[in-house]
């Protein structure tokens, strides 16, 4: 029977190699759907491990490991995202991004390296467990419509896996201390929709606003009114956020512009309310602008759905973490209004998405995700690889002492 000590030893043996994987990936970040070098690197490492693989969703890769212990129809999918962000890195290190203006500022280099490490562990242990494991290196998590949807549309998981027992994923968290494991059973991460809006007025001299249709003032009124979707229309028990992060009105101190451009996002934790809220946003936009004499051009891009952690898998995972790690290593974490395209898997298969702490308590400042100064404590690989390996084996029905 497998023992946790075997997994701990393999993790420790692989640590330096996995750190090297992560630093290589960090030096060579690529944007969503353009992860060509990243994909080639993953395929090369799988070849070295003698793990069969197939391409998926353009730049994605799916590796396959079959346990040799006995016949089983169970399959577990382990997913890591591989894309980076359009951010100019501000950290100076020996593995700083060489692709100017592109950075692994969300930890996807960690996720990919971690899964390569877990792949090596599971390949070594393949004759000690039963079932099939799909190693999914998924492209384009950072950009709507997301690589997860393309993976599901391809049908590759069913073709390669058959009876999918669980889909597992993880994300680094700068809010948790290095090596802590966090989980939120049930609904965990928000849906995410993008709003693109142009208010068309009529420009003019700032001294004669009566001769213009001022899109600046109309925008101010509209922003105030739209907030009532959250403050007065939403059920208070359903977390909801409506934020506009970009407003461009290219007038001047004495010039009223012709139009104003806005970009924003709506996020919530309930799919039914999500649909209603977006309809209300649309109604408010068109009715308000018409009432004030302007025109609106509105585009709502539907993004990722609510991410739901399967309750049964969550209960098993929590018990597993408490069995194998010290009690103060596990954290129950709250709902998170960030969005993840892993959510698509959670609407089709039993799924589990957990957090791994990367905050070194000795570091004075820990910058957040999507920050140009984001960094992480690589010691987190030790618990991260163990947690993912143990959970995979448990959900395949294999016990580990």
Q: So what's the pLDDT on residue 71?
A: 86
**How high is the pLDDT of residue 138?**
98
Q: What is the pLDDT of residue 241?
A: 97
What does the block give as tokens for 238?
């359903």
Q: Which helix (H) or strand (E) holds 281?
A: helix 271-291
* Distance, CA of 188 to CA of 337 (rounded, Å): 8
The pLDDT of residue 259 is 97
Predicted confidence (pLDDT) at residue 103 exceeds the cutoff of 90: yes
- Beta-carbon contacts of residue 29 (< 8 Å; ≥ 6 apart): 38, 84, 85, 97, 99, 102, 103, 104, 109
Kindly tell me if the per-residue pLDDT of 243 is higher than 90.
yes
CA–CA gap between residue 112 and residue 104 (Å, rounded) = 11
Helices 380-395, 108-124: crossing angle, 10 deg rounding = 50
What is d(CA 166, CA 134) in angstroms, rounded to the nearest whole number? 10
In order, the DSSP letters of 99-124 are STT-B--SSHHHHHHHHHHHHHHHHH
User: Which residue in the list 30, 35, 109, 141 is annotated as catalytic?
Assistant: 141
Buried/exposed 48-64: b ≥16 CB within 10 Å, e otherwise: ebebebeebbebbbbbb
Question: What is the average pLDDT across 40-51?
Answer: 98
CA distance 115 to 63: 11
Whether the bond into 123 is cis, omega within 30 of 0: no
Mean pLDDT of 216-243: 96
Q: 111: closest CA among 169, 43, 157?
A: 169
Please check the confidence at residue 400 and state whether its pLDDT lies above 90. Answer: no
> Rounded CA gap, 181 and 177, in Å?
9
Cα separation, 296 vs 259, whole angstroms: 10
State the chain's mean pLDDT as an integer. Answer: 96
Q: What is the pLDDT of residue 326?
A: 86
Helix, strand or coil for residue 367? coil
| Alpha carbon distance 3, 9 (integer Å) | 10
Domain boundaries, the chain: 4-190+306-395, 193-302
Q: Which fold has domain 4-190+306-395?
A: Aminopeptidase (3.40.630)
DSSP assignment of 236-284, as one string?
TTS-EEEEEEEEE---BTTEE-SEEEEEEEEEES-HHHHHHHHHHHHHH
Question: Is residue 258 annotated as part of the catalytic site, yes or no?
Answer: no
Asked if residue 244 has pLDDT above 80, the reply is yes
Q: Residue 363 has what pLDDT? A: 78
At 104, give phi and psi (nearest 5°): -80, 80
| pLDDT (0 to 100) of residue 70 | 86
Alpha-carbon distance 138 to 55, whole Å?
10
Contact present, 244 and 310 (Cβ < 8 Å): no
CA 280 to CA 46: how far, in whole Å? 49
Given a contact cutoff of 8 angstroms between Cβ atoms, the answer to whether 56 and 156 are in contact is yes
Helix (H, G, I), strand (E, B) or coil at 96: coil
- Number of residues written out for the chain: 401
- 175 CA to centre of own chain: 16
Q: What is the pLDDT of residues 156-213, one digit of tens each?
A: 999 998 899 999 999 999 999 999 999 999 999 999 999 999 999 999 999 999 999 9
Catalytic entry in 30, 83, 180, 375: 83
The token duo for 333 is: 């974490």
Contact between 375 and 55 under an 8 Å Cβ cutoff? The reply is no
Helix axes 215-226, 271-291, angle to 10 degrees: 150
**Burial of residue 24 (number of CB atoms within 10 Å: 0-12, 13-18, 19+):** middle
CATH 3.30.70.360 describes domain 193-302: yes
Of 124, 119, 126, residue with least CA distance to 67: 126
Max intra-chain CA distance, the chain = 83
8 Å CB contact between 298 and 285: yes
Per residue in 359-380, pLDDT (tens digit) is 998 877 889 999 999 999 999 9
Q: Cβ(168)–Cβ(309) under 8 Å? A: no
- Tokens representing 343? 């959510």
Per-residue pLDDT, 100: 96
Higher pLDDT, 76 or 364: 76
Smallest CA-to-CA distance from 264 within 285, 287, 250, 246 is with 246
Respond yes or no: is residue 83 known to be catalytic.
yes
pLDDT at 362: 85
What integer pLDDT is reported at residue 327 of this predicted model?
87
């Amino acid at each position: 029977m497998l023992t946790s000590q075997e997994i701990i030893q393999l993790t420790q043996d692989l640590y330096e190699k996995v750190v090297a994987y992560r630093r290589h990936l960090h030096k060579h970040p690529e944007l969503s759907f353009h992860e060509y070098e990243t994909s080639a690197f993953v395929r090369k490492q799988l070849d070295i491990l003698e793990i069969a693989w197939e391409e998926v969703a353009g730049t994605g890769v799916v590796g396959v490991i079959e346990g040799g212990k006995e016949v089983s129809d169970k399959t577990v999918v382990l997913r890591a995202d591989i894309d980076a962000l359009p951010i100019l890195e501000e950290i100076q290190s020996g593995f700083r991004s060489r692709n100017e203006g592109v950075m692994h500022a969300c930890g996807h280099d960690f996720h990919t390296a971690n899964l390569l490490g877990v792949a090596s562990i599971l390949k070594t242990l393949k004759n000690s467990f039963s079932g099939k494991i799909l190693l999914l290196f998924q492209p384009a998590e950072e950009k709507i419509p997301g690589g997860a949807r393309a993976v599901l549309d391809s049908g590759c998981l069913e073709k390669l896996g058959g009876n999918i027992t669980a889909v597992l994923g993880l994300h680094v968290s700068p809010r948790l201390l290095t090596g802590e494991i966090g989980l939120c059973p049930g609904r965990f991460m928000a849906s995410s929709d993008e709003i693109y809006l142009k208010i068309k007025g009529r420009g003019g001299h700032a001294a004669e606003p009566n001769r213009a249709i001022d899109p600046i003032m109309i925008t101010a009124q509209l922003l105030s009114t739209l907030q009532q979707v959250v403050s007065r229309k939403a059920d208070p028990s359903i977390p909801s956020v409506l934020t506009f992060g970009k407003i461009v009105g290219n007038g001047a101190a004495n010039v009223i512009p012709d139009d104003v451009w806005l970009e924003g996002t709506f996020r919530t934790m309930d799919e039914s309310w999500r649909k209603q809220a977006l309809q209300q946003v649309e109604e408010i936009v068109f009715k308000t602008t018409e009432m004030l004499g302007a025109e609106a051009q509105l585009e709502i891009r539907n993004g990722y759905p609510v991410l739901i952690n399967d309750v049964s898998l969550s209960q098993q995972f929590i018990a597993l973490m408490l069995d194998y790690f010290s009690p103060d290593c596990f954290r129950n974490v709250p709902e998170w209004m960030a969005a993840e395209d892993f959510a698509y898997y959670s609407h089709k298969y039993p799924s589990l998405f957990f957090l791994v702490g990367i905050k070194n308590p000795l570091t004075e400042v820990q910058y957040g995700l999507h920050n140009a100064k984001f960094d992480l404590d690589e010691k987190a690989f030790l618990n991260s690889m163990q947690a993912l390996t143990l959970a995979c084996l448990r959900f395949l029905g294999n016990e580990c002492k």
